[in-house]
Structure 1
Amino acid sequence: MTGFLDDLLGGLALGAVYALIALGFVVIFKASGVLNFAHGSLLLFGGYLTALLHDDLGFAGALASAVLATAALAGVLDRFLLQRGGRNAHSAHVQTIITIGIDIVLLTDLARRIGGDLLSLGDPWGDSVTALGPVTVADSRLAAVLVSAVVIGAVFALFRFTAWGLSLRAAAEDLEAAALMGVRLSRVRAGAWCLAGALAALAAVFLAAFPAPGLERTTGQIALNAFPAAILGGLASPAGALAGSLLIGLTEALVVGHQSDLHLLGEGFGDVAPYAVMLLVLLIRPNGLFGTKGAARV
């Protein structure tokens, strides 16, 4: 029973971090229709900057600098690579393919810089733990849940109560109608990319924190586990991204925790479990848990 509770808490913490990443996929898709496959490299960039700066600026200063720098990088990549020549220069499908190339370039450079090292981000939790009844939980996991809850709540408030959030929702419904109503789509899109970059940099801290050994060159690949969460929740639904992330996080933690009982599925089944869950959900609900059917005029 103690092992199950430990897996449950670990899954909730992992799902909370995945939610930060999945929200990045969702806001970019809502604003531009682009699936950003460079999201993992942005996450690794934010984590690398935090590790590089924390000795000089302290953890808080390094994290703030990394969040701002990653947000700026995401905005610059979108403006000068994806939208080069104007907003209608490339279709969303072509821009999605371009993000794959961006991801390869960024990951190659960051992997060269990191090499085989394990980088510490200087987080204040270290390897400290807290006893919650019969379960001992890493403080980094508790911090992941609390910080993610606050940040996700702030993002949802941004969607609901600000002019930018209203513009984003209008653009997600119909880009042309939103433009005709005076919505400045370029600003909406720039805000979405910057927000996604900032969330990715924040998520990197918790993916590299204890019990993980630190930031390594493959950390960015973990972001891809949040992609099924965004898909199965409904790619244009922030609430779906949150629900899907918690489901994926719990599934991954429980599968890894009971790997010995699932040996028939192979030792690496925990790595593909998120995608297996995504496929099962999409077989039942092709539009995702919170997705809606679109209407096409013919």
Structure 2
Amino acid sequence: MNHLATLLVNGVSLGCLDALIALGFVLVFKATRVVNFAYGSLLLLGAYVIGRTHDGLGFPGAVLLAVAVTAAVALVVGVVVLRPARLADPGTLAILTLGVDIVLATELTRRIGTDLLTTGDPWGARVVTVAGIQVPQTRVAAAAVAVLLIAALLVALTATDWGVGLRASAERPATAALLGIRQSRVAAGAWGLAGGLAATAGLFLVAFPAPGIGAGAGQAALGAAIPAAVLGGLDSTTGALVGGLAVGLTATLAAGYQDQLAFLGRGIGDVAPYLVMLLVLLVRPAGLFGSREVDRV
């Protein structure tokens, strides 16, 4: 029972981080209808900036710089690279983001090289023990920061002009334009905010279980964002939260009971979230909370 409780607590903490990653992914899609495959390299960029600057700026200063730099780069991708091609079909725009991801990830991998970069976070390898349940402090901090950021973002989506404009543009783009909502400004805000969220998530993603910034962080981010976002619904912020928690719990439980699931093959923890995603899509093709398109004839 203690083993199950430990897995559940760790799964929820990982799920909060996955939800934060998926939320940035969903924000861009909700505002622009672009599947942002560059999100993984943006996350890696944020972690890289922290790794290179925390010695000189200190940990808080490095985090603030990483958020600013990643938000700026994301904004450049959205405004400079994608806006001129905004009338292209969604597949072409997705391929453009994939090209950005390859270029950015290749350059970051070259810069990292064989160095072992760490973020200089204050939690290290320490663990918190409550009622016999051990949870790494990094996971606790990640869950707390993710909950705060997600709550702040949900408030922004409902209580600010930008948030109302984003929701209006996502639901009725033509009507929103007629009402004077500048969709280009809404999209730019979504790209910048997604970049900031990517940098924050990157801080925690590379700190556990093995501290060190490597090229695999970007792939790991997409590996969490895609099933979480698709499972919950690509245009649903609520779905991103539920999908992130589902992915975190599924991956943790599958890895924790690897021996009992050995007949399914090794590494089932990495595949399990995708299996859950596929099962959900068989029943609800738009995801749990995604908007279903209705064709009238």
TM-score scaled by length of structure 1: 0.96
Conserved? CA contact 1:32–1:92, under 8 Å: no
SS in 1 for 2:214: coil
Amino acid at match of 2:45: F
Write out aligned runs for 1:39-50 (5 A).
Answer: 39-50=39-50
1:113 pairs with 2:111: yes
Amino acid at match of 1:146: A
SS in 1 for 2:14: helix
Conserved? CA contact 1:233–1:289, under 8 Å: yes
Write out aligned runs for 1:128-143 (5 A).
Answer: 128-143=126-141
1:18 pairs with 2:18: yes
Match of 1:184 among 179, 182, 185: 182
Write out aligned runs for 1:147-226 (5 A).
Answer: 147-224=145-222, 225-226=224-225
2:30 corresponds to which residue? 30
Q: Deviations over 1:13-59 (max 9, x none)?
A: 11111111101111111110000001000000000001011000111
1:268 corresponds to which residue? 267
SS in 1 for 2:123: coil
Conserved? CA contact 2:235–2:291, under 8 Å: no
| Cα separation, 2, equivalents of 1:97 and 1:195 | 22
Q: CA RMSD in A?
A: 1.3
* Residue 297 of structure 1: how far off its partner (Å): 4.2
| Cα separation, 2, equivalents of 1:71 and 1:204 | 13
Amino acid at match of 1:58: G
* Residue 116 of structure 1: how far off its partner (Å): 3.3
Write out aligned runs for 1:43-82 (5 A).
Answer: 43-82=43-82
Conserved? CA contact 2:43–2:202, under 8 Å: yes
* Residue 286 of structure 1: how far off its partner (Å): 1.5
| Cα separation, 1, equivalents of 2:149 and 2:216 | 25
* Residue 215 of structure 1: how far off its partner (Å): 1.7
1:96 corresponds to which residue? 94
* Residue 281 of structure 1: how far off its partner (Å): 0.8
| Cα separation, 1, equivalents of 2:89 and 2:200 | 30
| Cα separation, 2, equivalents of 1:198 and 1:189 | 14
1:283 corresponds to which residue? 282
| Cα separation, 1, equivalents of 2:132 and 2:65 | 39
Amino acid at match of 1:277: V
* Residue 197 of structure 1: how far off its partner (Å): 0.6
2:241 corresponds to which residue? 242
